[in-house]
Amino acid sequence: MEALDYHAEERRKAEFDVEEMKIVWAGSRQAYEVFRKDNRTMLSRKDLFKDTLRKAAHAWKRIIELRLSEEEASKLRFFVDQPVFTDLHWGMFIPAIKGQGNDEQQQKWLPMAYKMQIIGCYAQTELGHGSNVQGLETTAIFDPETDEFVIHSPTLTSSKWWPGGLGKVSTHALVYARLITDGQDHGVHGFIVQLRSLDDHLPLPGITVGDIGMKFGSGAYNSMDNGVLRFDHVRIPRDQMLMGVSQVTREGKFMQSDVPRQLVYGTMVYVRQKIVADASCALSRAVCIATRYSVVRRQFGSHNGGPETQVIDYKTQQSRLFPLLASAYAFRFVGEWLKWLYTDVTQRLQASDFSTLPEVHACTAGLKSVTTSATADAIEECRKLCGGHGYLSSSGLPELFAVYVPACTYEGDNVVLLLQVARFLMKTVSQLGSGKKPVGTIAYMGRSEHLLQCRCEVERAEDWLKPNVILEAFEARAARMSVTCAKNLNNFPNQEEGFAQLATDLAEAAVAHVQLIIVSKFIEKLQQDIPGKGVKRQLEILFNVYALSLLHKHLGDFVASGCITPKQGALANEQLRLLYSQVRPNAIALVDAFNYTDHFLGSVLGRYDGNVYPKLYEEAWKDPLNETVVPDGYHEYIRPILKQHIRVARL
């Protein structure tokens, strides 16, 4: 019997070429059926971890057999869709050696790492310190007599805690410790330390290592062996300190190398652009599930015995769902721009041009913070948009949330990152009168005199469809919030005290700046030559939905800063409602453009054919509880209750 496609009619409504939109989005997707995951949330921790090892080994085998390029191999690991030790090996360990090791160290360690003859992790975070890297307690004391560093964990809180791949798999770690020579502390530096024997995988002398235990959710990040690590005076050769930007001589003298220290920023930009790209992927998956299910689900509104109303046709559903759909596209495009930025900053660093580094640091920190926070919140919103069924593991949404939400903390706590952005903004404002012209994503600050005085000229709802009107409103809001914070800081005799007291306002100013970046990059995307029937028109609608939904959400900021009036805010909301009606006929096609297979999506609610209810029923019977009709424990616990054969203790 031919499978029904409950979304076929929705696809016929599309006003654009979905195949062309797929190209705009990402290109083709393929499922690798060998990587089964439908039973993942039911596995015990041990079985889940062994399953993860099996998948990682199979992926590596295919990479070798097919002679995949580094980019192709990365795609294959992406499709495994399960947190695994190789994520840290390829995503952190290797890039750090490339970015911070000298030529000799790269020649020694990278060939082994590329062949996976060694498996590495990134051991920075400690039990007592995460965001405050300069507060790390692990020590690396140089012993000039043996030409070695002694790596030691002097306190319980100095235990390395959280590194993925550390718990059970990694043979080596890039350990960040306080470099001490002749009693002098030179701050935190990186060291390559072997943890386990390459023969029997046992920990080496002086190494205590293990897994930190179960984490949030079923399945999810529990496939990763996040670890704890302690050192008891472990000795390593001097040349295992990463010496790309600083080094210790044979005599124990600490020296900065000829290579500028700023080169380490390249690794940071690479990691953060990858995180932003992952945000777009996770958000688009959640939105795809919620959109497809919202079309299938019908509730209320039946007339004369006819069908009930599709949930997606309720304005309350559209106002919650469609801004998230637009955000997925917005994050995709700003992620593409970040890839360009990484290439640009790498070329500049190699040419010893460090002029853009402060702006790049603030930009990547802010985008990491804003996109990951928004995505985590959006996945949970998509779960609620799916009603009660969204709470089922088979919906795919609980595990997606659990596996994604750590992104708000790793590679920089999101609030801490916003405050770093705020410091950059305050410095930029302080330099406005110096003649130094702001560049890049902060260039709008150079027009602050105009932005502080301009008034939005919107008179009708449709005026909000003009990109230049939206852009100026976001620029004015960002500029005014930053300038206001800078003025308020000047009221404090101590700048740091002021920063602590105004931290909330400063973080909100940073969010305004980052949202402006995303809006501006969406506009730049629309200015490109976009092929395909109707594709550009749909992207224009999505842009307006994204920008105006942000304006609606942060209307208080826009009005309080004086850049728009309450009446203009109401007109923006009126236009937003009209835009939802334009998104509605194309909703299914817009999520089809993500090109996710059912296997990759991993959701009964988000099935391509929309055949949800029979599959939900089918999935229910796969649960281990249904392996027996009468549950284990019936005779021991339930029957005595029913038969009133409970012995009551006599006092």
Burial class of residue 62 in the structure, from the number of CB atoms within 10 Å of its CB (0-12 exposed, 13-18 middle, 19+ buried): middle
Per the DSSP assignment, residues forming a β-bridge with 178 are: 139, 188
Structure tokens at 225: 């062996």
Q: Is 164 annotated as a binding residue?
A: yes
Question: Cα–Cα–Cα angle for 76, 80, 83, nearest 5°?
Answer: 120
The span from the CA of 473 to the CA of 551, in Å, is 9
Q: How is 24-83 classified by DSSP, letter by letter? A: HHT------TTS--TTGGGS-HHHHHHHHHHHHHHHHHHHHHHT--HHHHHHHHHHH-S-
Sorted by sequence, the CB contacts under 8 Å of residue 264 that are 6+ apart come out as 99, 100, 245
Do 571 and 458 form a contact (C-beta atoms < 8 A)? yes
The residues that are catalytic are: 411
The span from the CA of 318 to the CA of 315, in Å, is 5
Do 295 and 386 form a contact (C-beta atoms < 8 A)? no
Do 324 and 381 form a contact (C-beta atoms < 8 A)? yes
* Letter string b/e over residues 97-136, b meaning 16 or more CB atoms within 10 A of that residue's CB: bbbbbbeebbeebeeebeebebbbbbbbbbbebbeeeeeb
How many C-beta neighbours within 10 Å does residue 648 have?
Answer: 5
Q: Is the dihedral of CA 280, 281, 286, 289 positive or negative?
A: positive
DSSP, res 532: S
Torsion of CA 55, 59, 60, 61, to 10 degrees: 100
Annotated binding site: 125, 164
Annotated binding site for FAD: 125, 164
